[in-house]
Amino acid sequence: MKGNVTAFVIFMVDLPMIASSYLKKCKNNYHNIKDQQLTIAAKANIFICIIFCLFWTIYFAFSKMWIIVYMDIVFTLLSIFSFFLIYINRISAGILLSQAVLLVFPVVFCVFFDIATTHHPQVAHLFLPAGAILGYLNYRRNPSFLQLVLILLSIACFIFFSGSSFTLEHAIPLSENTRSHGRWIAICVATLMICISIYTMQLEIQIEDSMAKDLRLALGKEQFELFYQPQVNASEKLIGAEALLRWHHPVLGSVPTQDFIPAAQTLGLMPEIGTWVLAQACKVLQDWSKQEQTKDLTLSINISADHFMQANFEETVICMIHRYDINPSRLILEITENIALNNCVSMIEKNEFLIRKRSSAFS
């Protein structure tokens, strides 16, 4: 490698997109694309809820059913607030609030107002699946215990009200005239919300499938690249660098590791990608060893769990070191604490084997 070691500062550019151009025109990463899709779906569902509630607020105000009017006003205000949270990029908080609203209000309405009769079935519980699906999409993006609880409660309540006619003693049934017209409106709105959520889920699956196909081609088409983050000691002297893997997607541009590594692990591609990173790191160390100013620098690379647990992992490391004729002490293999704790015996055996072969050491 010519010249001094250069520090690369990697910027993530977040460009605005629209739903119809995700896979063709966007120059963004997969994580942001999925965020955009989830945001659009959440905003659409919440907006529909707001319009739906305003309509019934006006209707019940003319009917002088003030308790339902007050409920609808609260529902509307909470929906507006959840829309605002999503607008300011508090996506998880906004969806959690909207999901809680879509759980509590249909349940309350089923118990007190939407009482099934021989002519008209309950319909308020049909909004519960919409909230559950939207919550599931958010859970895939940002798993949380609260989100999971809301999803399970929504499903459980939907099953309960679908198979029973539970009411309270002080229930206030809606008039037959209101139910005859209102049930079709509620059915159509709930179905629309469910369709929006399912369509968003389909788009996410398409993106994941696209990522899987692209990852399989990335190695052969040399779309991966290593960047180097400098490492200094207490005296601020450069002592080495850490290799950072980036994927240059032909359509999406630079994709950071947190967006494609989980998919690569699921597909079982990490050993192959890890071997490529190891080879590139050894090649760089070979270049550094030829220059006075870089010959003493170390290079650290991260080792994934599935790559580390490969039966031939040690032989692969030794083969690369011999192929590029590098000083083993200059190559540092970084193992996460989880791997070390879960595979303590295996790690010690592999480390001792490499040391016996005068190869690199784990950190």
- Each residue's pLDDT tens digit, 242-299: 998 888 888 777 777 777 887 788 778 888 888 999 999 999 999 998 888 888 899 9
What whole-number distance in Å separates Cα of residue 127 and Cα of residue 114?
13
Q: Under a CB-based contact definition with an 8 Å cutoff, are residues 330 and 285 in contact?
A: yes
Q: Which of 261, 255, 226 is nearest to 241 (CA)?
A: 226
Q: Under a CB-based contact definition with an 8 Å cutoff, are residues 101 and 127 in contact?
A: no
Predicted confidence band of residue 31 (pLDDT cuts 50, 70, 90):
low
Label each residue of 37-90 as H, E or C: HHHHHHHHHHHHHHHHHHHHHHHHHHCCCHHHHHHHHHHHHHHHHHHHHHHCCC
Predicted confidence band of residue 307 (pLDDT cuts 50, 70, 90):
confident
What whole-number distance in Å separates Cα of residue 230 and Cα of residue 241?
4
**Residue 65 is encoded by which pair of tokens?**
């059913």
Which pLDDT tens digit goes with each residue over 41-69?
Answer: 888 889 999 998 899 899 889 888 888 89
Q: Is the pLDDT of residue 183 over 80?
A: yes
Alpha-carbon radius of gyration of the chain: 28
Q: Which of 42, 328, 353, 350 is nearest to 196 (CA)?
A: 42
Q: Which of 239, 360, 349 is nearest to 303 (CA)?
A: 360
Number of CB atoms found within 10 A of residue 193's CB: 25
pLDDT of residue 335: 76
Which pLDDT tens digit goes with each residue over 105-143?
Answer: 999 888 888 887 777 788 888 999 999 998 998 888 788
**Residue 263 is encoded by which pair of tokens?**
């998919």
What whole-number distance in Å separates Cα of residue 86 and Cα of residue 92?
8
CATH of domain 222-361: 3.20.20.450
Angle formed at CA 227 by CA 221 and CA 231, multiple of 5 degrees: 155
Which pLDDT tens digit goes with each residue over 149-163?
Answer: 999 999 999 999 888
Residue ranges of domains in the chain: 34-213, 222-361
Residue 349 CA: distances (Å) to CA of 113, 189, 269, 278: 68, 61, 24, 20
Predicted confidence band of residue 27 (pLDDT cuts 50, 70, 90):
very low
Q: Under a CB-based contact definition with an 8 Å cutoff, are residues 332 and 281 in contact?
A: no
Q: Under a CB-based contact definition with an 8 Å cutoff, are residues 148 and 139 in contact?
A: yes
